[in-house]
Amino acid sequence: MATDRPEIEIRGLHKSFGDNHVLRGIDLEVARGEVVCVIGPSGSGKSTLLRCVNLLEEPSAGRVFVGGTEVTDPDVDIDAVRRRIGMVFQQFNLFPHVDVAGNLTLPQRRVLGTDTARAAAVARENLARVGLADKTDAYPAQLSGGQQQRVAIARALSMGPEVMLFDEPTSALDPELVGEVLSVMRVLAGEGMTMMVVTHEIGFAREVADRVVFMDGGVIVEQGPAARVVGRPQQERTRNFLDRILNPAGPGPDGD
């Protein structure tokens, strides 16, 4: 039995959109309970990589396994696979016309067939986990962006995923709201959730990630412990990227 297999295994993954060869041979494993942060410039293929893990995009070549099940097997029950993978997007994608409780209970009832009382209990539990136990009756538009993103995380957790994928979960937030979302993610990581996180929050990556992966041009340029990849990058492309992201204004008009 392959009990020690990684939770996520990506082997020789390629993805093209027409002539645009976006992923050019990605090999990556994520162990159970591991937190991997993926960083890299815009357009390098980070979102496409995450989306290939839960087959929101169909890989052009290569194989992907989640929890030992090959998701790229043409005969796989893709709905069953997706139930094991929670995904959180930059745009929170909450149902606008449904209150917070409904946002958490509807997918459980529709996708998992959970009964109403049980779905409501799971919703309450997960709203408490993200610090929003008092917002069950609110509508998304009545919440701040940070609160909406925490609801989106609670909604994903309500499906009982084995793996959580985050695609720039704080990029749409006002700066003062970023911290509350990162705090929730930090707690999840501490609880042992397996997580792949695409983020520009280098401080978060440094503190929470077991491993940081730097992507550019559809390949993994460099990966390793956060302190090494962020603190002492070996590759010039990684250094240039980190310079730009850590000093976004660049040199001042006086040249410093």
Ligand X SMILES: Nc1ncnc2c1ncn2[C@@H]1O[C@H](COP(=O)(O)OP(=O)(O)O)[C@@H](O)[C@H]1O
116 binding partner (options Mg ion, ligand X, none; Cβ < 5 to 8 Å by kind): none
Q: What distance in Å separates the CA atoms of residue 233 and residue 214, rounded to the nearest whole number?
A: 10
Distance CA 95, CA 97 (A): 6
Helix 116-129 vs helix 100-107: angle between axes, to the nearest 10 degrees?
A: 120
By C-beta, is 45 or 140 nearer to ligand X?
45
> Which of residues 50 and 173 has its CB atom nearest to ligand X in the complex?
50
Query: Is the CB of 43 or the CB of 190 nearer to ligand X?
Result: 43
Shortest distance in whole angstroms from residue 83 CB to ligand X: 23
Q: How far is the CB of 17 from ligand X (least distance, A)?
A: 3
- Cα distance between residue 125 and residue 148, in whole Å: 17
Q: Which is nearer to Mg ion, 46 or 211 (CB)?
A: 46
Note the residues at the interface with ligand X (CB under 6 A). 17, 20, 22, 40, 42-48
Q: Within positions 5 to 64, which residues make up the interface with Mg ion, using CB under 5 A?
A: 46-47
Q: How far is the CB of 132 from Mg ion (least distance, A)?
A: 26
Minimum CB distance to ligand X, residue 235 (Å): 17
238 binds Mg ion (CB under 5 A): no
Q: CB under 5 to 8 A by kind: which of Mg ion, ligand X, none does 6 bind?
A: none
Q: Which does 20 bind (CB under 5 to 8 A by kind): Mg ion, ligand X, none?
A: ligand X
Residue 251 Cβ, how far from ligand X at the closest point, in Å? 25
Task: Count residues binding Mg ion (CB under 5 A).
Answer: 2
Residue 18 or 251 having the CB closest to ligand X: 18
22 binds, among ligand X, Mg ion, none (CB under 5 to 8 A by kind): ligand X
Q: Is 67 strand, coil or helix? A: coil
Task: In whole angstroms, give the CA distance from residue 243 to residue 256.
Answer: 14
Q: Rounded distance, CA 225 to CA 204, Å?
A: 13
End-to-end C-alpha distance for the chain, whole angstroms: 59
Instruction: Characterize the bridge pairing of strands 8-17 and 20-30.
Output: antiparallel
**CB of 54 within 8 A of CB of 48?**
no
Cα distance between residue 45 and residue 219, in whole Å: 8
What is the nearest approach in angstroms of ligand X to the Cβ of residue 254? 32
Residue labelled with tokens 């909450």: 94
Report the C-alpha gap between 134 and 132 in whole angstroms. 5
Neighbours of 72 (CB within 10 A): 18
Question: Which C-beta is closer to ligand X: that of 20 or that of 144?
Answer: 20
Q: Which residues bind Mg ion (CB under 5 A)?
A: 46-47
